[in-house]
Amino acid sequence: MIRNIIKERDEIKAFSFDRNGKIITSLYDSGFSSVAAVISELSRRGSGWMKDIKEISIENKSRCTYARYNKQGRRI
C-alpha cells in the first residue's frame, strides 16, 4: 500500500461527501502538511450545511496518489 504523504508544496484536490454520496465541499489548494489538515479544512468549509461528512476523497496531484477516508481520517 502506498502511503498518502502530503507536503506543503503538493497540490491537493479533495472532496467531502454525505451519506447519499453527494458532494458537500471541495477544495483544490496547496499548503497542507497532513491528511488531518485537509480533513479539518473540508469540515470547516462544510460546517454550515448541517450535513454530516461520511467520506472524504483526497488526490495528491503532485505525487499522483489517491485515497478515500472516513471523517476520522482512517483509510477506507
What pTM, to 2 d.p., does this model score? 0.88
Predicted confidence (pLDDT) per residue in 17-75, tens digit: 999 999 999 999 999 999 999 999 999 998 766 778 999 999 999 999 999 999 899 99
- The answer to whether the beta carbons of residues 12 and 38 sit under 8 Å apart is yes
**H-helix or E-strand containing 44?**
helix 35-45
Amino acid at 4: N
Instruction: Spell out the domain ranges in the chain.
Output: 12-69
DSSP state of 47: G
Q: Phi-psi category of 56—alpha, beta or left, where left has phi over 0 and alpha has psi -120 to 50?
A: beta
pLDDT of residue 14: 97
